[in-house]
Chain A
């Protein structure tokens, strides 16, 4: 009881209020060394800011190189007349985000006072800009006015909420929507990318529009986000929330695959083939899955079922090995499905229960096969788009694609590897250890190069691996090994007593692992896992080594090679470092939130 009361912030002793002067005195100028440090680093900070501003606003900078190439940086050679697909993708994500915000009831609130502090900080930033930036007197005046407005607004917000002229807080969601709306509105009024700075003066450049072509789509995106949120708020009372959460989670999981391979790539289905081959094979596997899985989930068969599963697994493995010698010409899809069926059969005895559970397990298999076969067919079909290059994605979209897919795929693989390495079964343990150690011993560049260039030489006739698929596969295998070690750290932190307690109440090994061990292990592993996620995101730039055009390669090598912008490199690099920072910083912030929510570091 005591603990619960303690964790309630309302009951915690209040921090004594201090004025700004007191805070500065006790934190920055408390003693002589501290004072010296404050002054030295204050000057250093101001000096660096001045240098940075001078760099950004210098007449030598050619920001037109970035503005003109914004499309290249974001989507590389994606056909302009098909850009609607990009917007459709973004729209889908916006709708999903809106609905998820409502369903997961993100009812956090922001104190007006806190917003006031932010605005004051912004005002401070504007003041620094106004005093240090090498701009003309007029511009400096403008910045001073902005400073004054921001400071006044911040002060008003702080005082207003103190004197209860304003509400205490606003919902975080609506505050975020408001900020986004301001950004989008600014697209309509400020022609970003229209300007170049020359000797501190703003010079309008004609024909260099960036924002002008995207303001309408971005407005639609914002409206979609807000609309979806409001609709879902209304619908919230009408649906079964846990079910809605499951549906939404699966949609999120599916979205990278569907949006990339179906929407963005637009497969050109050969319908004759789809009806003559693809659908029958899919149906065959659903039926076959029923024939295998239904008996295997029968509780009376029990562990003996695994023998069948192992036979199936050996057969599936034989198919793959035979393929390497070109023995069994067979659809790739069939090989993959066999392997998955074997794995499902291996799991089946764990789902042995009443008929309803068994049928649910099998319907899950059927749904899985439908989605998988559909995706494989889509990936194997040629794209209808008139694309320049082997990868239909490039620039920032490629960076995101590789990072998201790699994280999504390497997470389950990493958890499995970690479990395998800590398992008591010697073969699993040795295999997993060998895998993890050997993959960790090889640089990522080598793995990417192998998967992209060397592997196709070894593949037999009838097997081919697309450039992007090769990159994601290699990167996933690499990242999973590191992830496994992070998760293993978490696994080791789970106390022996937890295992014993789980055994004592009669949980099976898989139940113990799934319900007791993994949740606790993952909770502890959040900080290293997020660190790894950030690493994966940033290291996607290594895909340039195998010829893909990620955002770094475009900024560092492609734009400076254009005749018009020869050698213009720093501008692009600065821009993408801001982009990288923004994404990595949001991930880190999110992890802090997550840690708070699961109560990490409180015990």
Chain B
């Protein structure tokens, strides 16, 4: 009997405790981590990611972490590069602090899952904008920040020159890294030109380059930006590497990527990119950005963009001086480009990434 009553008492205590615990939980609205899962659902349920990011105080930005000149870790562990700077630009626009970025290094396999699951707010991981990615995987693409394209690199001593074409590759050993679209592109190009090539693939492009240097590969192929970097850093003395053809064999527009159907967030990211481009056109840079407003030597559009009269940033849910912060903390497009891509030998002049006034493709709609 006594045992039974003890057991009943125990169960009663247990029941009472459950009620207390459940009540506790209710008061509290769940875990301390509840807010972060709200982020996940917010985009799907109508509210904008913009408010979530502003509330959180940091921007989760997906990058590669190992893409030469686009996003790499410097020796003290800071994320640097072209993509990393555009992460900082978005953070400066949304939060007013270019350093309020939480960089998430993603592998190629992970990047789309990370966007879908809401782990990251924006993906700056030199991802090519393609129709299938735009429709399939629940993502939207922003304005292209870098126009890349697949090219080939050969040695001048083998008779290649800047004006060589795919047709000159008959019988050559061409190397590239495995598992990318570059493999397919060069195969298609060779077929179209009616030549036979010997295609060899290696684990990564470091090994490809080593084989190119040792002579095991006649020609290597990958995105033009990477080839220029390799040429700048690894071309041995007394040897001349040439990159051809002038018109790349594939189109690789790279730009920001974010979750689907969040128009407000898309506007913020897109116009941050546009602001850097317009600033570049108008001669606004990191040193003069703070003195544009009220300065008559800048036109009305520049004034508006930097938060002067008639500014439109407030309508987007940003502070009036959001883009002024972007330019003064991170720089305009030309500054970002020169800082990160000039050291590896990529110049804007004459490339697709020159401003539209100079015959390039970098163009922004007017800020009015």
CA A560 – CA B32 in complex, angstroms?
40
A137 at the interface (CB under 8 A from B): no
Partner of B234, one of A68, A301, A567: A567
- Centre residue among B3, B33, B38, B79 by max chain A CB count within 10 A: B33
B367 at the interface (CB under 8 A from A): no
- The interface stretch among A42-50, A51-59, A75-83 is A75-83
The number of chain B residues with a CB under 8 A from chain A is 67
A464 at the interface (CB under 8 A from B): yes
Q: Contacts A292-B13, A328-B22, A330-B25 hold; do A78 and B77 have CB atoms under 8 A apart?
A: yes
Interface bin, chain A: 35 or more
Q: Contacts A284-B17, A329-B25 hold; do A567 and B73 have CB atoms under 8 A apart?
A: no
Q: Is B33's CB under 8 angstroms from A563's CB?
A: no
CB distance from A453 to the nearest CB of B (A): 5
B28 at the interface (CB under 8 A from A): yes
Q: Contacts A277-B24, A331-B24, A547-B104 hold; do A563 and B68 have CB atoms under 8 A apart?
A: yes
Q: Is B21's CB under 8 angstroms from A456's CB?
A: no
- Centre residue among A71, A273, A453 by max chain B CB count within 10 A: A453
Contacts of A394 in B (CB 8 A): 77
Question: Could you tell me which residues of chain A, from 87 to 127, have a CB within 8 Å of some CB in chain B?
Answer: none
Question: Could you tell me which residues of chain B, from 206 to 222, have a CB within 8 Å of some CB in chain A?
Answer: 206, 209-210
- Centre residue among A76, A273, A295, A389 by max chain B CB count within 10 A: A389
Q: What per-residue 1/0 map shows which CB atoms of A308-348 lie under 8 Å from chain B?
A: 10011001000000000000111110100010000000000
Partner of A307, one of B7, B9, B73, B104: B7
Q: Is A388's CB under 8 angstroms from B14's CB?
A: no
CB distance from A422 to the nearest CB of B (A): 32
B229 at the interface (CB under 8 A from A): yes
Q: Contacts A329-B26, A566-B234 hold; do A312 and B14 have CB atoms under 8 A apart?
A: yes
A557 at the interface (CB under 8 A from B): yes
Q: Is A329's CB under 8 angstroms from B29's CB?
A: yes
CB distance from A341 to the nearest CB of B (A): 10
CA A461 – CA B38 in complex, angstroms?
7
Q: Contacts A334-B21, A389-B103 hold; do A463 and B31 have CB atoms under 8 A apart?
A: yes
Whose C-beta in chain A lies nearest to the C-beta of B341? A563
Binding site of A, secondary structure by majority: helix, strand, loop or mixed?
helix
Question: Could you tell me which residues of chain A, from 542 to 571, have a CB within 8 Å of some CB in chain B?
Answer: 544-547, 549, 553-554, 557-558, 560-563, 566-567, 569
Q: Is A560's CB under 8 angstroms from B206's CB?
A: yes
Q: Is A76's CB under 8 angstroms from B24's CB?
A: no
Q: Is B105's CB under 8 angstroms from A295's CB?
A: no
Question: Could you tell me which residues of chain A, from 394 to 451, have a CB within 8 Å of some CB in chain B?
Answer: 394, 449
B18 at the interface (CB under 8 A from A): yes
B325 at the interface (CB under 8 A from A): no
Q: Is B105's CB under 8 angstroms from A304's CB?
A: no
Contacts of B54 in A (CB 8 A): none
Q: Is B78's CB under 8 angstroms from A77's CB?
A: yes
A171 at the interface (CB under 8 A from B): no
Contacts of A547 in B (CB 8 A): 65, 104-107, 110
Question: Could you tell me which residues of chain A, from 337 to 382, have a CB within 8 Å of some CB in chain B?
Answer: 338, 380-381
- The interface stretch among B112-120, B164-172, B185-193, B275-283 is B112-120
Q: Contacts A301-B6, A315-B14, A566-B234 hold; do A75 and B77 have CB atoms under 8 A apart?
A: yes
- Centre residue among A311, A381, A456 by max chain B CB count within 10 A: A456
CA A331 – CA B28 in complex, angstroms?
8
A459 at the interface (CB under 8 A from B): yes
Q: Is A464's CB under 8 angstroms from B31's CB?
A: yes
CA A330 – CA B19 in complex, angstroms?
11
Contacts of B101 in A (CB 8 A): 388
Contacts of B348 in A (CB 8 A): none
Q: Contacts A72-B73, A388-B79, A462-B37 hold; do A331 and B30 have CB atoms under 8 A apart?
A: yes
Question: Could you tell me which residues of chain B, from 88 to 147, have a CB within 8 Å of some CB in chain A?
Answer: 99, 101-107, 109-110, 113-114, 116-117, 119
CB distance from A357 to the nearest CB of B (A): 19
Q: Is A308's CB under 8 angstroms from B79's CB?
A: no
A219 at the interface (CB under 8 A from B): no
CA A397 – CA B240 in complex, angstroms?
42
Q: Is B206's CB under 8 angstroms from A72's CB?
A: no
A20 at the interface (CB under 8 A from B): no
CA A315 – CA B3 in complex, angstroms?
22
Whose C-beta in chain A lies nearest to the C-beta of B23? A330
Q: Contacts A329-B26, A389-B102, A547-B105 hold; do A77 and B344 have CB atoms under 8 A apart?
A: no
A69 at the interface (CB under 8 A from B): yes
Q: Is B10's CB under 8 angstroms from A292's CB?
A: yes
Contacts of A28 in B (CB 8 A): none
Contacts of B76 in A (CB 8 A): 71-72, 77, 80
A300 at the interface (CB under 8 A from B): yes
Q: Contacts A334-B25, A566-B68 hold; do A549 and B105 have CB atoms under 8 A apart?
A: yes
Q: Is A77's CB under 8 angstroms from B107's CB?
A: no
B291 at the interface (CB under 8 A from A): no
A590 at the interface (CB under 8 A from B): no
**Chain A residues proximal to chain B, CB less than 8 Å:** 68-69, 71-72, 75-78, 80, 273, 277, 281, 284, 288, 291-292, 295-296, 300-301, 304, 307-308, 311-312, 315, 328-332, 334, 338, 380-381, 386-390, 394, 449, 452-454, 456-457, 459-464, 544-547, 549, 553-554, 557-558, 560-563, 566-567, 569
* Extra contacts besides A389-B79, A547-B105, A560-B206 (17): CB < 8 Å: A277-B24, A295-B9, A301-B3, A307-B7, A308-B14, A311-B14, A380-B31, A390-B104, A449-B109, A452-B110, A453-B114, A462-B33, A549-B73, A562-B68, A562-B73, A563-B72, A569-B206
16 A-B residue pairs with Cβ-Cβ distance under 8 Å, sorted by A, are A75-B77, A77-B73, A281-B21, A284-B17, A284-B21, A292-B14, A331-B28, A334-B21, A334-B25, A461-B30, A462-B37, A464-B33, A547-B106, A562-B75, A566-B230, A566-B232
**Chain B residues proximal to chain A, CB less than 8 Å:** 3, 6-7, 9-11, 13-14, 17-18, 20-22, 24-26, 28-34, 36-38, 40-41, 65-69, 72-79, 99, 101-107, 109-110, 113-114, 116-117, 119, 204, 206, 209-210, 229-230, 232-234, 343-344
Q: Which are the 10 A-B pairs with shortest beta-carbon distances? A: A77-B77, A330-B25, A566-B233, A462-B30, A464-B33, A557-B66, A329-B30, A561-B72, A462-B34, A561-B66
